[in-house]
Amino acid sequence: MSDVLHDLNVESLRKEFPILSQNVHGRPLVFLDSAASAQKPRTVIDSMRFVMESQYANVHRGLHYMSEKTSDAYEAVRDKVAGFLNAASRDEIVFTRNGTESINLVAYTYGRTALKPGDAVAVSAMEHHANLVPWQMLRDAHGTELRIVEITDSGEIDFESLERVFADGKVKLLAVTHMSNVLGSYTPVERLAAFAHERGARILIDGCQAIVHRKVDVQAMGADFYVFSGHKLYGPTGIGVLYGRAELLEAMPPFLGGGDMIEHVSFEKSRWAKPPHRFEAGTPAIIETIGLGAAIDFVNEIGFPAIAAHERALTEHALSVLGNIEGLRILGQAQDRGGVVSFTMRDVHAHDIATLLDRQGIAVRAGQHCAEPLMGRMGVTSTARASFALYTLPREIDALAEGLLRIQRMFA
Amino acid sequence: MSDVLHDLNVESLRKEFPILSQNVHGRPLVFLDSAASAQKPRTVIDSMRFVMESQYANVHRGLHYMSEKTSDAYEAVRDKVAGFLNAASRDEIVFTRNGTESINLVAYTYGRTALKPGDAVAVSAMEHHANLVPWQMLRDAHGTELRIVEITDSGEIDFESLERVFADGKVKLLAVTHMSNVLGSYTPVERLAAFAHERGARILIDGCQAIVHRKVDVQAMGADFYVFSGHKLYGPTGIGVLYGRAELLEAMPPFLGGGDMIEHVSFEKSRWAKPPHRFEAGTPAIIETIGLGAAIDFVNEIGFPAIAAHERALTEHALSVLGNIEGLRILGQAQDRGGVVSFTMRDVHAHDIATLLDRQGIAVRAGQHCAEPLMGRMGVTSTARASFALYTLPREIDALAEGLLRIQRMFA
Amino acid sequence: MNADPYQALVMERSRKPLFARRPHGTDAEGEGRNRMCGDAVHVFLARAGMHVGHESEGCAILLASADLMAEAVAGKSRDEVFELQRDFLAMVKTGQEKPALGALNALAGLASFPARQRCATLPWDALSEALNNG
Amino acid sequence: MNADPYQALVMERSRKPLFARRPHGTDAEGEGRNRMCGDAVHVFLARAGMHVGHESEGCAILLASADLMAEAVAGKSRDEVFELQRDFLAMVKTGQEKPALGALNALAGLASFPARQRCATLPWDALSEALNNG
Ligand SMILES: Cc1ncc(COP(=O)(O)O)c(C=O)c1O
Ligand SMILES: Cc1ncc(COP(=O)(O)O)c(C=O)c1O
């Protein structure tokens, strides 16, 4: 397997992640649940500690040293994120709690002003609940329609279904994942963006999974909105990002009201601040934003070419080792797929798999993965899911396969 | 001043706050801006590091060791907060980003269902924008009225105005601060709650400032909703709390849609989870919630009797030393007031005060303190504000007074 | 306390349930669903003689728990069933086995797997429903 | 670069402004407001001869900046004023003094106080407005 590691010195990278040397149930931890949330490198942990130990105060409103330093550090991450996504301007970057809040922000503000009752929002059949439920809520509150773009059996966007969904011209927003958290499929976002734009619709891309594995260029892909969470990108919890094209953000009303999002307040009326501050009410997640900055530096330093190559090799390895296990079914066979592998095993329930692997120190996820409708589409009630990060080793995938065989023997 | 320290060994407590030993502009930091955000004790910093280094995974959805441990730690903080506020049940505690989001959550969900167009929301004239702008937004979106309860010149709730505001029976919600972040006044929340309840209204109490200084008992005070932010309570940023009475939360629709807040999702329809999870969509601020737990332990260990006594002594000291400075005007003279002192100085603008104090290592805030309407009410455009925490020393207040005299000499 | 929730008896009853059927004289039914995984159990109850059967779809723990429950309650009175349920819930939480629980003690290992306890208690919820509906 | 933004000249002109008036022949006006503090500056402009006066309410930096600006632009052409403004903005940001700025260099210390730079540039915004309105 040495070629897998060609670009990335994983063993040495792993030393940056203190948690990876833990034991679980007396066995070395094999953490294959990074798609739910990634572990944190030392530099992220240290950056957060550094702020709290030596340079902390509330941001934006202070005229003293600590506040200015903290504001500078906080706002510098906005520049960093803008660069990371290749946004045209730092003002297109809004900080939220997580990808879920980012999508809800768009549903509440853009959704209730730019979209009119009778307009339709289209989502794919493989969305995470975070990119489905907000549009259901918008439908029920605002009278928009919600339409589903089918996926093929291999787990890719069905372009014929897409055509049908857009045929009557009512769809004004396509909200679609950049990578499925269940099937691992990437979606062709450039093509989807062009498709939507040609038909006068906007596109929101849920990048919660993809952002970890690929270089994202929001301008090149034609994203109107792009969202992700810090905690999956080796950053802290409590911080997420919404990218929105300047022209769209400027036309949107605020989401939450409070300090820092207004120009002027009287009892009668308030005048909103410009984006992005219009959308950041109250004291933001200062420490976590700074932690996210450290995470982006960490990822940038390694570089996406190496990360992507490593991930591709791991995924191929996983597909081949798991594919050899009799009675094991891998969900989805997209051409373009990333480091997430969901599977079922004959006669063994996914929850039993997860519990029994855990007793061997191996962490995988089992259940519906917040994608209940997709489970129905794929004809399963739940799956087990192994997901990979830049610190994942091929031998951890081997350990998974051995663990699964052991479980099969128990259930035989 | 030794009697001030009778209950609290501040010098030794200060060792728990690494930042307090920093220098600023070559002078030891005198941090008098804790009302904006408090500094963090080592135990909070360490608790966050501990999770990230040895016990981290996403919560609630995992069947493996790290996820179960993290979920347990996360949910244990809910119990801790319930105990801290004396809530009747842990299910009455909702985690948010900050106090601002907590209030907005109530405005969006309770506000748009329990309140009807034509109903009125009453706020006081000394609210932070966080407890004003959401009700303006509700007014503009939903057709509720917004009424202002006047305050007296000393900075206390004017009960005659309160009577008038409630006279026609239209007020269904009183949203009021527990302690003003500008004047330092506490409000008589028990009396206000009884007043509102007698008239068929609910009460939301903004505890962002008070929570730091006083034991809060939501049941004893009769709160229907109580909100606060972690970062002012020596905890991390990115985490806030909404307490809501069970009966009210149960009747409220969700705020954000996504993972973890639903029982069941199909493309057609979703069934909401019960509170508090109904209101916690997506991956929560796991690390920060655990940090908040450590902050509450820290505060509980010191105990509110000692904290409150220390704060009372500091405030009296500040009122007396600052009161001796000619041309200095302190805003508000409430009977019941806490560790926040706002002032203006003849011929010196608040911003000049803040900048010039900063050059002496002293951090105070200057401006409108996110309470622009209150500035108008008090006849000023901005003030300087010194605020105290459990780590504040009387000699830091003396340093402030000396600094102010030095500035006066410059401007004389 | 046995730390392994996958004892031989559990494996056996999950693979070859003895009570996966609708008993003669069924006059009440109940259902339990676990939203996390979509697992479901349907309980059939013939109140005369307290004969219980089940139709279950789910993990080994759920299948075995349903089957062991059906066996354990057979012939008991309504009050005895509720007492057994209380004891069972306590045992699953604490891991403390109890002689009165008999074969049900095989599930004591769940105490160390809080997220899986619901799999074992779901059949009992369904039975409660049947008893209260009936 | 001088680190102190409160030099003697600044203190003096903030206390005793020389141009706090409406100049004869005023034919354009402009306004600047700082939302953070409510500070405001109103600029009067007599385009013939580029005579500028101001009515300011605010901190020492704002008052001095407005007054020094009025002095610096007197008699200049419109283009020269815009060039001076560019130089002034750059100097306030970087702290690099420039001979062409003359007395305005007294504000170079603001480079270390980013949050206060707006106080010094606000009068220039108001003047721009007046020049563009006129
Ligand atoms: C009284 C009061 N309410 C609300 C807030 C808002 O708190 P946060 O910014 O943490 O949401 C503050 C703090 O700025 C405050 O002092
Ligand atoms: C594709 C996708 N979208 C959205 C989310 C929601 O992310 P978060 O829980 O951080 O808001 C997730 C992660 O669970 C995801 O995988």
At A308-319, the pLDDT tens digits run 999 999 999 999
Q: Is the dihedral of CA B19, B25, B27, B33 positive or negative?
A: negative
**What pLDDT is attached to residue A100?**
98
Among the residues of A86-109, which ranges form H helices? 99-108
Which residue in A63, A263, A264 is closest to D115 by CB distance?
A: A63
State what percent of residues in chain D have pLDDT above 70. 96
**pTM listed for this prediction:** 0.95
| B vs D: CB pairs below 8 A | 45
| Rounded Cα gap, residues B381 and B227, in angstroms | 28
A294 against B25, higher pLDDT: A294
Interface test with chain A among B283, B289, B385, by most A beta carbons within 10 Å: B283
* Percent share of chain A, pLDDT over 90: 92
Q: Which of B5, B137, B306, B370 is catalytic?
A: B370
CB A95 within 8 A of CB A284: yes
Name the CATH topology of A46-300: Aspartate Aminotransferase; domain 2 (3.40.640)
The stretch C1-28 carries a mean pLDDT of 90
As a whole number, mean pLDDT of residues A152-170 equals: 97
Say what the pLDDT of residue D75 is: 95
Q: Exposure pattern of A223-247 as b/e (b: 16+ CB <10 Å)?
A: bbbbbbbbbbbbbbbbbbbbbbbee
| Mean pLDDT (chain A, rounded) | 95
CA-nearest of A228, A155, A163, A227 to A191 is A163
Confidence label for B106 from pLDDT (cuts 50, 70 and 90): very high
Using the beta-carbon criterion (under 8 Å), do C38 and A351 form an inter-chain contact?
A: no
Q: What proportion of chain B, given as a percentage, has pLDDT over 90?
A: 92
The span from the CA of A332 to the CA of A341, in Å, is 9
The answer to which of B3-17, B23-37, B131-145, B297-311 has the lowest mean pLDDT is B3-17
pLDDT of A2 over the 50 cut: no
pLDDT digits (tens, 9 = 90+) for C98-118: 999 999 999 999 998 888 999
Answer yes or no: is pLDDT of A3 > 60: no
Helix (H, G, I), strand (E, B) or coil at B141: helix
What is the C-alpha to C-alpha distance for residues B172 and B31, in angstroms, rounded to an integer? 41
- Give yes or no for residue B398 having a pLDDT over 70: yes
Q: DSSP states of B97-109 as a string? A: SSHHHHHHHHHHT
Q: Band of the pLDDT at D1, cuts 50, 70, 90? A: very low
Across the range D74-80, mean pLDDT stands at: 96
Inter-chain CB proximity B368 and D36 less than 8 Å: yes
Contact B36, B387 (CB under 8 A): yes
B113 CB within 6 A, ligand 2:
no
- To test ligand 1's pocket by mutation, which of B33, B212, B370 has the most ligand atoms within 8 angstroms of CB? B370
Mean pLDDT of D61-66: 96
B101, B128, B288, B337: residue to mutate for ligand 1 pocket, most atoms within 8 A of CB: B128
- C with D: touching (≥3 Cβ pairs within 8 Å): no
Q: What is the pLDDT of residues B291-318, one digit of tens each?
A: 999 999 999 999 999 999 999 999 999 9
**Quick one: closest CA in B to D37, which residue?**
B367
Question: Which residue in A162, A151, A180, A158 sits closest to A379, CA to CA?
Answer: A151
pLDDT tens sequence across B37-49: 999 999 999 999 9
**Looking at the predicted structure, is the pLDDT value of residue A214 above 80?**
yes
Query: What is the model's pLDDT at position D39?
Result: 85
- pLDDT (0 to 100) of residue A269: 79
Residue of B nearest to C114 (CA): B68
State whether the beta carbon of B283 lies less than 6 angstroms from ligand 2.
yes
Identify the pLDDT of residue B1: 40
Q: In the predicted model, is pLDDT for residue B2 greater than 60?
A: no
User: Does the annotation mark B370 as catalytic?
Assistant: yes
Residue A4 confidence (pLDDT) above 60: no
Residue C98 to residues A139, A261, C92, Cα–Cα distance (Å)? 53, 60, 11
Q: Please tell me which chains touch C, using 3 or more CB pairs under 8 Å as the contact test.
A: A, B
| Per-residue pLDDT tens digits for A354-405 | 999 999 999 999 999 999 999 999 999 899 999 999 999 999 999 999 999 9
- According to CATH, the topology of domain D8-133 is Sufe protein. Chain: A (3.90.1010)
What pLDDT sits at residue C2? 53
A60 by Cβ neighbours in 10 Å (0-12 / 13-18 / 19+) ranks as buried
CATH 3.90.1150.10 for domain A2-31+303-411: yes
Chain A neighbours (≥3 Cβ pairs under 8 A) are B, C, D
Residue identifier of the C-alpha nearest atom 16 of ligand 1:
B181
Q: Which residues of B touch A161 (CB under 8 A)?
A: none
Tell me what pLDDT residue B265 has: 83
* pLDDT number for residue A271: 85
Q: Alpha-carbon distance B383 to B341, whole Å?
A: 10
Q: Which tens digit of pLDDT belongs to each residue from B137-196?
A: 999 999 999 999 999 999 999 999 999 999 999 999 999 999 999 999 999 999 999 999
Convert the pLDDT of each residue in D86-115 to its tens digit. Answer: 999 999 999 999 999 999 999 999 998 888
Question: Ligand 2: which of A370, A372, A385 to mutate, most ligand atoms within 8 Å of CB?
Answer: A370
| Stretch 75-134 of chain D: residues touching chain A, C-beta under 8 Å | 113-116
Q: Which residues of A touch C62 (CB under 8 A)?
A: 349
Residue-averaged pLDDT of chain B = 95
The residue-averaged pLDDT of B253-282 equals: 90
Q: Which residues of C touch A355 (CB under 8 A)?
A: 5-6, 113, 116
What's the confidence (pLDDT) of residue D2? 53
Domain ranges of chain A: 2-31+303-411, 46-300
* Alpha helices for B208-359 (secondary structure H): 218-221, 246-251, 286-302, 304-323, 350-358
